[in-house]
Amino acid sequence: MVLFCSSAHQTEDWARHKKECKHLAKLGLWGCTYDEAKESANTLQPAAAAADADATTLFLYSEGTLLPELRPNPPECGICGRTEPLSLTPCCQNLICNRQHEYELFSYSREFCDRSHDRYTACGFHHGAGHAGDWRTCERCAADFNDDYWYSNNGYNFTPGPAPPKGSFHTAECDVCKGRVHRGFEGYSTYRGQVSCNDCTSAQGRYA
């Protein structure tokens, strides 16, 4: 989603961003706005403290030692809202539903929040790569993702990263057909610094 400071500027820029908007609509994707200052103030929980606090809650709920009527605010997955089964993310210590035992190998389904947060977010990548500090201010992550803002601002994140520069696109241009490709949702290949959408890659008979 491209954000503008006024509808007049949005209309003025339509010739440039219409392909982006039409492609996102075709994929059925939508965006929502957020307060960057408020989200930046949302500090990540200290891992040790969060683990100690939530482990008791998870144990009580999972073992059924608390009666339903004594559960005023059942813990839930911060991505989809499911209340069970839950676990803590190793990267940011947030509650997330854990249904790994239901995942079908090589299905690449996005219906599993724990897997999607681990594989498709800058937060999960930051932790897996062993980077230090907050992923939102990590210079190494910023360099690794370059202009691909999807990993820090998609719905598998508990809190979004820094807002992309105004007028930035979430899709990339296919260097072959000049169409758009969403690198977070569609197949593509890269070759010598160029991006090819799935159709063009198939036509050329190669994959990265």
Enumerate residues 6+ apart whose C-beta is below 8 A from 116.
79, 110, 156
pLDDT surpasses 50 at 50: no
pLDDT score at 106? 82
Residue 176 pLDDT class (50, 70, 90 cuts):
very high
pLDDT surpasses 60 at 40: yes
How far apart are the C-alpha atoms of 85 and 55, rounded to whole Å?
Answer: 13
Residue 38 pLDDT class (50, 70, 90 cuts):
low
Q: Which long-range contacts (CB under 8 A, 24 or more apart) does 120-126 make?
A: 120/151, 120/154, 120/156, 120/184, 121/151, 121/152, 121/154, 121/156, 121/157, 122/151, 122/152, 122/157, 122/161, 123/89, 123/91, 123/92, 123/152, 123/157, 123/158, 124/89, 124/91, 125/151, 126/91
Mean pLDDT of 174-184: 91
Summarize pLDDT for 109-142 with one digit per residue, the tens.
Answer: 888 999 999 999 999 999 999 999 999 999 999 8
Enumerate residues 6+ apart whose C-beta is below 8 A from 123.
89, 91, 92, 117, 135, 152, 157, 158
pLDDT surpasses 90 at 155: no
pLDDT surpasses 60 at 207: no
